[in-house]
């Protein structure tokens, strides 16, 4: 038997190990004899499959094939139902805590007053603190489009307002009659990974 297979089987445990979904258990195992490892990780030697199944039944456990490529195959005694329950629980918890990063949007105008600006900027701060990206859009009216520097001033002001929690990911650019800038959250120490979801939401 390959030493690597045996070491892997011996290091397996129901709390941190992982069994593939098509792993054979109990009567599904086809080998005539197996190298048996008990629920504590101790080797019980190479024994006939029928004997291994008998031991599993006596202990109220399942016989699980953990190294099918080994010669002979390696099987382990464990509570397979409990193992599957714990793994499903861990996967649910991981999905629950995984942050889905969205793209929120705040819309501003070149002549926005201080109160409206504060509302929009606070929304942007909240979105960034929640781990989402922010699409800041300046909407030009009439001949305002001929003075893009006015829009740049508003976006620079917004960037300064959120600088503690956010940073510019895409600098301002003109799109039709709008000017758009993308802000992203600053990396937080100890934060978990996130997945991007290309969804936009109206802010404030």
Give the tens place of pLDDT for each residue, 143-193: 998 999 999 999 999 999 999 999 999 999 999 999 999 999 987 654 444
Separation CA 48–CA 53 (nearest Å): 9
Do 187 and 92 contact (CB within 8 A), yes or no? no
133: containing domain: 98-202
* pLDDT score at 39: 87
Residue 126 and residue 158 in one domain:
yes
* pLDDT score at 197: 44
Residue 107 and residue 138 in one domain:
yes
Pairing mode, strands 74-78 and 33-37: parallel
Residue 113 and residue 126 in one domain:
yes
Residue 82 and residue 177 in one domain:
no
- Among 35, 62, 93, identify where a domain stops: 93
Residue whose structure tokens are 């109206």: 202
Residue 67 and residue 135 in one domain:
no
* pLDDT score at 200: 42
Q: How many domains does the chain have?
A: 2
* pLDDT score at 191: 47
Task: Provide the H-helix boundaries in the chain.
Answer: 3-11, 49-58, 80-97, 114-129, 148-161
Conformational region of residue 185, where left means phi above 0, alpha means psi within -120 to 50, and beta covers everything else = beta
For residue 135, list its beta bridge partners: 105, 182
- Among 35, 58, 93, identify where a domain stops: 93
Residue 102 and residue 198 in one domain:
yes
* pLDDT score at 180: 96
Cβ burial 102-123 (10 Å sphere, 16+ → b, else e) = bbbbbebbbebeeeebeebbeb
Residues of the chain falling short of pLDDT 70: 1-22, 99, 188-204
Separation CA 54–CA 56 (nearest Å): 5
* pLDDT score at 31: 86
Residue 180 and residue 102 in one domain:
yes
Residue 72 and residue 164 in one domain:
no
- The token pair that represents 158 in the structure block: 């917004």
* pLDDT score at 204: 40
Residue 112 and residue 131 in one domain:
yes
- The token pair that represents 153 in the structure block: 């001033």
Separation CA 85–CA 48 (nearest Å): 29
For residue 183, the domain's CATH number is 3.30.110.10
3-state secondary structure of 56: helix
3-state secondary structure of 26: helix
DSSP 110: T
Run of H or E including 173: strand 166-175
pTM of the model: 0.48
- Among 93, 116, 147, identify where a domain stops: 93
* pLDDT score at 6: 54
For residue 78, the domain's CATH number is 3.10.20.80
Residue 74 and residue 123 in one domain:
no
Residue 78 and residue 107 in one domain:
no
């Amino acid at each position: 038997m390959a030493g690597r297979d045996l070491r892997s089987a011996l290091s397996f445990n129901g709390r941190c190990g992982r069994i593939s979904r098509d792993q054979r258990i109990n009567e599904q195992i086809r080998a005539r004899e197996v190298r048996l490892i008990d629920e504590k990780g101790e080797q019980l030697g190479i024994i006939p499959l029928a004997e291994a199944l008998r031991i599993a039944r006596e202990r109220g456990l399942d016989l699980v094939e953990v190294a099918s490529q080994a010669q002979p195959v390696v099987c382990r005694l464990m509570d397979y139902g409990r193992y599957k329950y714990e793994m499903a629980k861990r996967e649910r918890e991981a999905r629950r805590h995984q942050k889905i990063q969205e793209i929120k949007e705040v819309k501003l105008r070149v002549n926005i007053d201080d109160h409206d600006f504060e509302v929009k900027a606070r929304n942007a701060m909240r979105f960034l603190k929640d781990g989402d990206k922010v699409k800041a859009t300046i909407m030009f009216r009439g001949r305002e489009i001929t003075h893009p520097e006015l829009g740049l001033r508003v976006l620079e002001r917004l960037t300064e307002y959120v600088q503690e929690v956010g940073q510019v990911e895409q600098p301002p650019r003109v799109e039709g009659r709008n000017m758009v800038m993308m802000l992203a959250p600053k990396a937080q120490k100890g934060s978990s990974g996130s997945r991007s979801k290309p969804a936009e939401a109206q802010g404030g």
